[in-house]
């Protein structure tokens, strides 16, 4: 069975997806981390992001493995390195590259072979797994998403303002929604879940109940 969770950044998607997978005993795939890994390598190799051919050449050269919710890239743990502000910015641009997407989509589909999977991203229910048995689209107001991000950055000892975060987030949301390939949008058969004023525990309980209900009839 495949469960997809799509939505913009800051909706609590990764946390909810990981916990849901744990509760169900399913595998968990964080596809944003894959785009981030490509961005990290582009930054490390000083590849100009505007050079589509050079960027598209990166993913086939990489070996990505998820182990215990950490991402290993060519044998090194990059779980922290892919979370910096510069990687976040570049990842959003790398994700507009059609050939990068094609390669990563292929890897994502392979990760679903013969396993039960909870996968999260922007296009999981629309493009990657259109026949998934259970699809969710998680939303929250821009202000709440930015406040969550600010709390995360402060916890990491980084210094920035709510206004800056909100401006960056708006720019990335627009890029995700307006890009030609796999724009962010809910699948027609996705269940919309607004996490703005609902505790994670309640969001999770609602989603888990729905997956179990669907599981019993598929």
- The site for ligand DC (CB under 6 A) is made up of 9, 31-32, 35-36, 91-92, 95, 121-123, 172, 176
Q: Which residues contact 129 (CB under 8 A, 6 or more apart)?
A: 2, 4, 109, 112, 119
- Please state the closest distance from residue 173 (CB atom) to ligand DC, in A: 9
Q: β-strand 76-77 against 70-73: which pairing, if any?
A: antiparallel
- Please state the closest distance from residue 31 (CB atom) to ligand DC, in A: 4
- Using the minimum distance from each CB to ligand DC, give the nearer residue, 192 or 209: 192
Q: What does the alpha-carbon distance between residue 106 and residue 109 come to, in Å, rounded to a whole number?
A: 5
Residue in this structure with the two tokens 């950044």, named with its chain if needed: 9
Task: Please name the residue ranges forming H helices in 81-199.
Answer: 85-94, 98-111, 142-155, 162-178
- Please state the closest distance from residue 41 (CB atom) to ligand DC, in A: 14
- Using the minimum distance from each CB to ligand DC, give the nearer residue, 98 or 209: 98
- Please state the closest distance from residue 127 (CB atom) to ligand DC, in A: 8
Q: Are 58 and 38 in contact (CB under 8 A)?
A: yes
Q: What does the alpha-carbon distance between residue 181 and residue 178 come to, in Å, rounded to a whole number?
A: 9
For residue 102, which of 46, 35, 44 has the smallest C-alpha distance?
35
- Using the minimum distance from each CB to ligand DC, give the nearer residue, 12 or 121: 121
- Using the minimum distance from each CB to ligand DC, give the nearer residue, 79 or 92: 92
- Using the minimum distance from each CB to ligand DC, give the nearer residue, 26 or 35: 35
What letters, b where the CB count within 10 A reaches 16 and e where it falls short, cover 181-201?
A: ebebebbeebbebebeeeeee
- Please state the closest distance from residue 121 (CB atom) to ligand DC, in A: 2
Q: What does the alpha-carbon distance between residue 147 and residue 162 come to, in Å, rounded to a whole number?
A: 7
- Please state the closest distance from residue 213 (CB atom) to ligand DC, in A: 26
- Using the minimum distance from each CB to ligand DC, give the nearer residue, 18 or 215: 18
């Amino acid at each position: 069975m495949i469960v997809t969770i799509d939505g913009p950044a800051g909706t609590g998607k990764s946390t909810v997806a990981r916990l849901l997978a744990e509760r169900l005993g399913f595998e968990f795939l964080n596809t944003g981390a894959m785009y981030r890994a490509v961005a990290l390598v582009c930054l490390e190799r000083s590849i100009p992001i505007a050079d589509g051919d050079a960027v598209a050449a990166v993913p086939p050269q990489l070996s990505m493995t998820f182990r215990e919710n950490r991402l290993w890239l060519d044998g090194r743990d990059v779980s922290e390195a892919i979370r910096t502000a510069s990687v976040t910015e570049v990842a959003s641009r790398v994700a507009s590259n059609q050939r990068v997407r094609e390669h990563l989509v292929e890897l994502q589909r392979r990760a679903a072979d013969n396993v039960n999977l909870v996968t999260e991203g922007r296009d999981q229910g629309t493009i990657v797994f259109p026949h998934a048995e259970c699809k969710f689209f998680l939303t929250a107001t821009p202000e709440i998403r930015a406040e969550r991000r600010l709390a995360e950055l402060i916890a990491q000892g980084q210094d920035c303002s709510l206004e800056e975060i909100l401006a960056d987030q708006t720019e990335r949301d627009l890029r995700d929604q307006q890009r030609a390939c796999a724009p962010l949008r809910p699948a027609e058969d996705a269940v919309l879940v607004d996490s703005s004023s609902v505790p994670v525990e309640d969001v999770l309980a609602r989603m888990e109940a729905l997956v179990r209900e669907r599981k019993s009839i598929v």
